[in-house]
Structures are given as structure tokens and as C-alpha cells.
């Protein structure tokens, strides 16, 4: 079922950028299994932190160097003892586990979705 129609101006308010994971580690304090990620969004935005519930399909060591998409203009959110600054984006597989969305070619960190 589709959601309500929005305008292009509504869409443009959501700042979705791509960045490269520079560090990833387990997040045992999270209520649901998750990793702590540090993501480089290039010189304009810099490095930001995220909590990501992607433990089914990814290991921390496999995430370092991977480009991921994230919303960078939501307010930071406290997740247990960790401040998550961006919302990484993905789709649920048939079992509900999150799979990251990403560009199919390398692009510069900080590139905006359009």
C-alpha cells in the first residue's frame, strides 16, 4: 500500500548522502542486535556515528570500507549509551533482516541522492 502523496519540496527536505564506513563494532548495549558505525561523509559533513541493526547480513569487519546511504539531517538520537547522528538506510529481506541500500558504482563520499 502506497503512502500519501508528497511534493518534490517535501522530498528535497530529506538529505540522503552516501558515505564510507571507517569503523564498525558490536553494540551489546542496544536492545536489538546492532552495530556502532562511524561513517565518512566527506569534507562538507565529516564523520558521523550511527547505530545500525544489520547484524544478520553483515559482520563489523566486512562493513569497513563499504559505502552506505544515510539521512544526515535528522536530529541525533540517543540509543542506549551511544549517540546516533545519522539514519542508515536499507530494506528488509523476506525475514525482516535489514539489507543496506548503496550505489552500484563508487561515488564520492557526501554525494547527495537525487
pLDDT in tens, 25-75: 999 999 999 999 999 999 999 999 999 999 999 999 999 999 999 999 999
What total of structural domains would you count in the chain?
A: 1
109 in a structural domain: no
1 in a structural domain: no
What is the share, in percent, of the chain residues with pLDDT greater than 70? Answer: 99
110 in a structural domain: no
Contacts of residue 56, defined as CB under 8 A and 6 or more positions apart, other chains included, come to 33, 93, 95, 97, 98
107 in a structural domain: no
- CATH code, domain with 37: 2.40.50.140
**CA 107 – CA 105 distance, rounded (Å):** 6
Q: Which domain holds residue 56?
A: 14-100
Specify the pTM. Answer: 0.93
Cell 500500500 sits on residue: 1
Amino acid at each position: 500500500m502506497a503512502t500519501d502523496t508528497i511534493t518534490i519540496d517535501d522530498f528535497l527536505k530529506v538529505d540522503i548522502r552516501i558515505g564510507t564506513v571507517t569503523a564498525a563494532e558490536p553494540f551489546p548495549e542496544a536492545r536489538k542486535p546492532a552495530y556502532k558505525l562511524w561513517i565518512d561523509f566527506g569534507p562538507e559533513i565529516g564523520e558521523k556515528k550511527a547505530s545500525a541493526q544489520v547484524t544478520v547480513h553483515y559482520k563489523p569487519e566486512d562493513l569497513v570500507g563499504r559505502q552506505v546511504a544515510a539521512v544526515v539531517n535528522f536530529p541525533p538520537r540517543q540509543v542506549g549509551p551511544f549517540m546516533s547522528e545519522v539514519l542508515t538506510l536499507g530494506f528488509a529481506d523476506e525475514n525482516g533482516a535489514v539489507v543496506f541500500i548503496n550505489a552500484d558504482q563508487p561515488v564520492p563520499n557526501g554525494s547527495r541522492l537525487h
